[in-house]
């Protein structure tokens, strides 16, 4: 949570928060639907495999940035589930698997099976 100090790490966190705020405020956000053909400055990008419907917010400034992975629960409602500094992400399939696991857990809590209490 802000306020953040002026360290490099805090500037990165602040920048990601600004992206989330812009999204929730309805500001213009560049989107890349094809994980392999996206503009270098795209802010929100689909992650391979696209059938999983996992997206990442791409905080690009300061470089290297932060990636926040998540899913859309409905139109214009993004649930950020995992994140890491870009330089720490070497295993993209592993990041997708981690996000899928978190999404399944989140979905189970958010949408319990009918008849369960």
Classify residue 80 by burial, with Cβ atoms within 10 Å: 0-12, 13-18, 19+.
middle
Is pLDDT of 116 > 50? no
Task: Please tell me the distance from the alpha carbon of residue 103 to that of residue 54, in angstroms, as a whole number.
Answer: 9
Helix, strand counts (H, E) of the chain: 2, 5
* Averaged pLDDT for residues 67-79: 91
* Averaged pLDDT for residues 86-104: 92
Mean pLDDT of all residues belonging to the chain: 86
Label residue 12 by pLDDT band (50, 70, 90). Answer: confident
Please answer whether residues 59 and 80 qualify as being in contact, where contact means their C-beta atoms are separated by less than 8 angstroms: no
pTM: 0.82
């Amino acid at each position: 949570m802000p306020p953040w100090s002026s360290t490099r790490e805090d500037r990165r966190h602040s920048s990601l928060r600004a992206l989330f705020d812009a999204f929730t405020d309805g500001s213009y956000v560049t989107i890349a639907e094809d994980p392999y053909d996206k503009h270098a400055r795209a802010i929100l990008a689909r992650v391979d495999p696209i059938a999983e419907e996992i997206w990442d917010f791409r905080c690009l400034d300061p470089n290297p940035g932060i990636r926040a992975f998540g899913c859309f629960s409905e139109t214009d409602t993004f649930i950020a589930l995992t994140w890491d500094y870009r330089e720490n992400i070497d295993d993209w399939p592993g990041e997708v698997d981690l996000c899928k696991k978190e999404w399944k857990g989140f979905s189970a809590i958010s949408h319990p099976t009918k008849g369960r209490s």
